[in-house]
Amino acid sequence: MDPIRIAIVGIGKIARDQHVPAIRGNSAFSLAATVSPHDAGLDGVPHHASLDALLAEGPAVDAIALCTPPQVRYDLAAQALAKGIHLFLEKPPGATLAEVEALKNQANKVGVSLFAAWHSRFAAGVAPARAWLAERRIDKVSIVWREDVRVWHPGQAWIWQPGGLGVFDPGINALSIVTHILPRPFFLKDATLTLPQNRAAPIAADLLFRDTAGAPIHMDLDWRQTGPQSWDIIVETDAGTLKLAQGGAVLHVPSGTEHGEDVEYAGLYARFATLIRGGRSDVDTAPLRLVADAFLRGTRQTTDPFHD
């Protein structure tokens, strides 16, 4: 079959570091173009300053990977879907749940594939963790996701604005894993969101969830950690303790430890190709819904101003 001609809209750090190598490493795709109003694009790849220009002037594309900040994503996504173009949404899939639902309905109506891509679900330890937990009784879950925002998001003003999620931008990665590996759904009971005095989004959060059988799930998010970073999920069960470390890359269970290569974005693009070839979509909003619930139900407290 002919390769799927794909364009990347939003050619920032995540696109260059992850999307471009994953696309070039997958023979199901050919990188046809890039779009960004603030970037010159990639050597040897046609580039446009806007999606309007790409759609008007070409080259023709079958699919788009949308890597812009979530606040501006809906209009671009709706424009692409209206042209019958398959769509890959970098996480989070939208600024609101209603936006994503509207895109899902539009994709179904047009008959193209829409993929809400949760890259952390493709970390090496996640699939075996899901299989190991499937038949276990879950007693308690602890999520510690602490990192240094100055290292991972330097100068990114949009992430502190409404719709940018703040510390939930990395935190939603943890939620994408936990919603995938736990055998029962869970929901928010209480949350405290800590916002810098000069920012609209939280720099830290403490959350308590409960699954439908009553097991507590505690989540500790903080963007102020320096030194070693913490991306850990610990699940206590009737058969011992499971730990996913390094963002899901390393799995510890009572019988031993598993390590794996970083194949998250390779896995995403393999999944996207399968969806397109099969005429299907994959739009799971569970992680975004839990974040929305935190903003809906959480108590807000202020802390010192944050400056890059």
Catalytic residues: 91
Given the structure tokens 């903003």, which residue do they identify? 295
Are the C-beta atoms of 154 and 170 separated by less than 8 Å?
A: no
Given the structure tokens 């739009």, which residue do they identify? 283
Structure-derived torsion over alpha carbons of residues 281, 282, 285, 286, reported in degrees to the nearest 10: 150
Contacts of 26 (CB under 8 A, 6+ apart): 266, 269, 270, 273
Nearest C-alpha neighbor of 150 from the set 227, 67, 224, 220: 224
Residue 103, H or E segment: helix 97-110
CA–CA gap between residue 245 and residue 251 (Å, rounded): 6
The string of DSSP codes covering 13-48 is HHIIIIIHHHHHT-TTEEEEEEE-SS----TTS-EE
DSSP 3-state of 75: helix
